[in-house]
Structure 1
Amino acid sequence: MKFSNPLIVVSNMEKSKRFYYEVLGLEVVVDFGANVTLTGGIALQTKDTWSTFIHKHDSEIVFGGNVAELYFEEDDFDGFIQKMNDIEDINYVHTIVEHSWGQRVVRFYDPDKHIIEVGENMIMVVRRFLNSGLSIEETAIRMDVPVDYVKSCLE
C-alpha cells in the first residue's frame, strides 16, 4: 500500500488552478479537465464529477467545514507574507501567529473554503533564533525540541 496524494473538491476548476498558482506557485502537472494534479501532488476534482464518483447529490457536498488543511512550509516567510499583502481578496482564517515553539504561520481559505496553512520552514525558525543570539541549547529550550534536532537543522 502506498499513499498517492490528497484530492480536494473544487467548484470552479479554472479559478482554483489560478488561485493555487498565483498564491502558492503550484503549477499544473496533469490536466484532465475535471481532474488536475498540481506540483506537490495535490489533486483537484470538480464538484460535479466528485458527486457522481461517491454517489451523492451536489447538495451533499459541503465546503468550509474547517476540519482539515493543506500545509505548506516556506523558507522566505517574510517574502511570502509581503506577496500575500499584494493579493486582493484573500480570505484569512487568521493573519500571522507565532506558535509556542516559535514557528510563524498564516492560515487562509482557498476559493472553496479549504484551509491553507503556510508555515515558516522549521530550519529557518532555528536559524532565526540562532541569528538573534540564542545558543543551540537556548534555541532547543525555546522551541521545546531536543538539542539534536536543532543541530540537525544546521547540517
Structure 2
Amino acid sequence: MKYTCTLIAVRNIEKAMQFYHDVLGLEVVADFGANVTLTGGIALQTIDTWKDFIHKQDEEIVFKNNVCELYFEEDDIESFAEKLKNIKSIEYVHPLFEHSWGQRVVRFYDLDKHVIEVGENTIMVVKRFINTGLSIEETAIRMDVSVDYVRSCLA
C-alpha cells in the first residue's frame, strides 16, 4: 500500500488551479480535464464528476466543514503572510499567530472553502529561537521537543 495524494472536490477547476498556483506556487503535474494533479500531492476533481465517482449524485456536498485541512510549510512565513494580505479573495480562518511551541501559522479558505494551513517550517522556528539567544536546551524546552531534535534542525 502506498499513499498517493489528497483529492479535493472543487466547483471550478480552472479557478482552483489558478488559486493554488498563485497563492501556494503549485504547478500542474497532470491535467485530465475534470481531474488535475498538482505538485505537492494534491489533486483537484470537479464536483460533478466526483459525486458521480462516489455514487452520490443526488446528495448535497457540504463545503466549509472545517474537519480537515491542507498543510503546507513556509521558510519565510512573514513574507507569505504579507503576500496573503494583498490577495483580496483570501478569507481567513485566522490571521498569522504563534502557537505555544513557537511555530507561526496562518489558516485560510481556498475558493471552495477547504481549509489551508501554512505553518512556519520548524527548522526556521528553531533557528529563530537560537538567533534570539536561546540555547539549544532552552529552545528544546520552549518548543517542547528533545534536544536531539533541535540539534538535528541545526545540522
SS in structure 2 at match of 1:80: helix
Residue-by-residue CA offset, 1:101-137 (whole Å, 9 max, x unaligned)? 0000000000000000000000000000000010001
CA distance in 2 between counterparts of 1:147 and 1:120 reads 20
Q: What amino acid is the match of 1:32?
A: F
Q: 2 CA distance for matches of 1:15 and 1:38? A: 14
**For residue 117 of structure 1, what is the aligned residue in structure 2?**
117
SS at structure 1 position matched to 2:128: helix
Which residue of structure 1 aligns with residue 70 of structure 2? 70
1:112 corresponds to which letter in structure 2? D
- Tell me the distance in 2 between the aligned counterparts of 1:107 and 1:59: 28
Unaligned runs of 5+ in 1: none
Distance, in Å, in 1 between the alignment partners of 2:83 and 2:58 is 35
Letter in 1 for 2:77: F
Task: Specify the SS of the correspondent of 1:95.
Answer: strand
Distance 2:117 2:51 in 1: 26
- Which residue type is aligned with residue 147 of structure 2? V
The CA RMSD over aligned residues, in Å, is 0.9
What residue in structure 2 maps to residue 153 of structure 1? 153
Q: TM-score, normalised by structure 1?
A: 0.97
Q: Which residue of the partner structure matches residue 137 of structure 2?
A: 137
Distance 1:25 1:136 in 2: 33
**Separation (CA, whole Å) in 1 of partners of 2:5 and 2:91:** 25
Contact 1:47–1:58 (Cα < 8 Å) also in 2: no
Contact 1:105 1:117 in 2 (8 A): yes
In the other structure, the counterpart of 2:26 is: 26
**Letter of the 1:91 counterpart:** E
Aligned-residue sequence identity (percent) comes to 72
Ranges in structure 2 where 5+ consecutive residues have no aligned partner = none
Structure 1 contact 48–58 (Cα < 8 Å) conserved = no
List, as ranges, runs of 4+ consecutive aligned residues in structure 1 with deviation greater than 6 Å.
none
